[in-house]
């Protein structure tokens, strides 16, 4: 048994040596320049795609091996990827992982441990943002660290829940509650898992341990039959990657700041923002689809069976069809970065139930998300717009459903394509409006663009916020009138 384990460790070491040699032989600067990308962006792409050979190695050599070997493999490969991308700055994640383990061990299953974790991990991340901030989007150690921050906070909450009476927990909390005491190696393997370390997705410690224990497979006792599902997500990711690569030189956020953009007619400025707002999200879609394929290949994407068929969406961060076709803002929110949204709902929004106000809980959750993304004012403006748009969209939907006149008008079949076109135009125009602040970061940049289109998004939705209640009152009959009509 010992010789087999030594052989596995030797194989991992040999794999790492070969990969490191290959990386050193590449002239990444020249290659990145020839592709029109930065070296850091190229390193990120290489690292994401590197997950596939690592997943294949894991499937064929480690899937049912001893847990400590799997944790070592995940820790070593994750740290190697971190070092390849960020060099000695890998110490930031190492420090937070080790300190998080100590917090769990020394403070136990207490609310103090949860609050200490939240304050320390968020403070460390925000300090990282502060000391590394520039006016542009840079790929630096804070990028994977924001993913790690959520992982470690979730770990502390699940560990806390594990000390409670199961009957006092919701079914969701029972599913994620950690009953045992994680070792440092388990926490490290969970934190550095190569399929999710750089850009996500989020998953719980319990789900990760099921992977290590060989439970995440559709064929008990054998490696998961997940190759085809993984290749489907990879292929979809490659389609988005090609689309982004072809369009990125021609549709940029930098153009929004030019005099040429300002000199065009108002309608052109709006339409450019609409097209750019749709396209700019493709880089995120690409990364999430490719990494989801890695997670599926390892088995981490296994999500039980439905109608006798295995589901592989446990690590899905994108609902592509919904993203491309739904004409509502709520549809985009439900389809985009779904794992992070689910994390915020599970560990933040639902934990604010004691406030007794869903709108307040929603607003605080979006404030948390804005700070989690960074300290730039653009993030606050973007999530403020999301909050405003969602409230107005709910009001408008309620008005149309409850007003007999509007509901009858909305149900006219021949007008459905026209309604859909109008909805999609409004949807993506103001998605682009919100993303302008998100991508331009600093107030002087996004303010310049917003001035050029006369703060259209704020004027439009703030006006509707105050007008729609009066329209609702005028067009929706009172219950007494409805009873008479019945």
The alpha carbon of 263 is separated from its chain's Cα centroid by a whole number of angstroms, namely: 36
Cis link prior to 201 (omega < 30° from 0)? yes
**CB atoms < 10 A from the CB of 469, how many?**
12
Query: Among residues 264, 362, 373, 472, which one is catalytic?
Result: 373
Backbone angles phi, psi at 318, to 5 degrees: -140, 135
First vs last Cα of the chain: how many Å apart? Answer: 78
Dmax of the chain from CA atoms? 85
Three-class SS state of 336: strand
The secondary structure element, H or E, covering residue 385 is helix 377-402
**337 an active-site residue?**
yes
The secondary structure element, H or E, covering residue 99 is helix 91-107
**341 an active-site residue?**
no
- Nearest one of 234, 180, 240 to 205, comparing CA atoms: 180
d(CA 114, CA 97): 15
Q: Indicate the DSSP class of residue 442.
A: S
Beta bridge partners of 475: none
**Spatial CB neighbours of 325, under 8 Å, sequence gap ≥ 6:** none
d(CA 135, CA 146): 19
Burial of 327 (0-12, 13-18, 19+ CB in 10 A): middle
Backbone angles phi, psi at 212, to 5 degrees: -60, -35
Backbone angles phi, psi at 336, to 5 degrees: -115, 130
Three-class SS state of 355: helix
Distance set, CA 373 to CA 130, 147, 440 (Å): 12, 10, 13
Query: Among residues 337, 339, 341, 427, which one is catalytic?
Result: 337
d(CA 138, CA 21): 26
Three-class SS state of 368: helix
Tell me the angle at which helices 456-475 and 377-402 cross, rounded to the nearest 10 degrees: 20
Residues forming the active site: 337, 373
């Amino acid at each position: 048994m010992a010789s087999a384990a030594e052989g596995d460790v030797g194989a991992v070491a040999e794999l790492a040596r070969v990969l490191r040699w290959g990386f050193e032989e590449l002239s990444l600067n020249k290659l990145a320049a020839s592709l029109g990308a930065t070296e850091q962006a190229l390193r990120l792409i290489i690292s994401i795609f590197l997950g596939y050979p690592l997943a294949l190695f894991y499937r064929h050599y480690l899937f049912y091996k001893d847990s400590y070997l799997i944790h070592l493999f995940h820790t070593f490969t994750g740290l190697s990827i971190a070092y390849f991308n960020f060099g000695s700055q890998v110490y930031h994640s190492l420090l937070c992982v080790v300190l998080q383990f100590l917090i769990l061990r020394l403070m136990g299953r207490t609310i103090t441990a949860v609050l200490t974790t939240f304050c320390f991990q968020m403070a460390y991340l925000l300090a990282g943002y502060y000391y590394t901030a520039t006016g542009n989007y840079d790929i630096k150690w804070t990028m994977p660290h924001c993913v790690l921050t959520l992982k470690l906070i979730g770990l502390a909450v699940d560990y806390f829940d594990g000390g409670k009476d199961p009957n006092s927990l919701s079914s969701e909390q029972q599913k994620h509650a950690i009953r045992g005491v994680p070792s440092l190696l388990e926490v490290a393997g969970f934190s550095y898992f190569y399929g999710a370390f750089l850009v996500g997705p989020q998953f719980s410690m319990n789900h990760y341990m099921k992977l290590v224990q060989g439970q995440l497979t559709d064929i008990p006792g054998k490696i998961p039959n997940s190759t085809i599902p993984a290749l489907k997500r990879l292929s979809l990711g490659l389609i988005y990657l090609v689309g982004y690569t072809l369009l990125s030189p021609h549709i940029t956020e930098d153009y929004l700041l030019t005099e040429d953009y300002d000199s065009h007619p108002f309608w052109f400025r709006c339409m450019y923002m609409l097209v750019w707002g749709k396209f700019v999200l493709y880089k995120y879609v690409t990364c999430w689809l490719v990494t989801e394929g890695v997670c599926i290949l390892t088995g981490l994407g296994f999500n039980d069976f439905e109608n006798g068929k295995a589901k592989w969406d446990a690590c899905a961060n994108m609902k592509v069809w919904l993203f491309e076709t739904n004409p509502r803002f709520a549809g985009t929110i439900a389809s985009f970065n779904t794992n992070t949204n689910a994390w915020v709902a599970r560990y933040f929004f639902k934990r604010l139930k004691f406030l007794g106000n869903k709108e307040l809980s929603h607003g605080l959750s979006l404030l948390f998300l804005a700070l989690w993304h960074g300290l730039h004012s653009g993030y606050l403006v973007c999530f403020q717009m999301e909050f405003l748009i969602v409230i107005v969209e709910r009001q408008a939907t309620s008005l149309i459903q409850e007003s007999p006149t509007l509901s009858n008008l909305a149900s006219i079949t021949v007008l459905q394509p026209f309604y859909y076109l109008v909805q999609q135009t409004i949807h993506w125009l103001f998605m682009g409006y919100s993303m302008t602040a998100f991508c331009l970061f600093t107030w002087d940049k996004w303010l310049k663009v917003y001035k050029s289109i006369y703060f259209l998004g704020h004027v439009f939705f703030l006006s509707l916020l105050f007008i729609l209640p009066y329209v609702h009152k005028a067009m929706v009959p009172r219950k007494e009138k409805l009873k008479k009509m019945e």
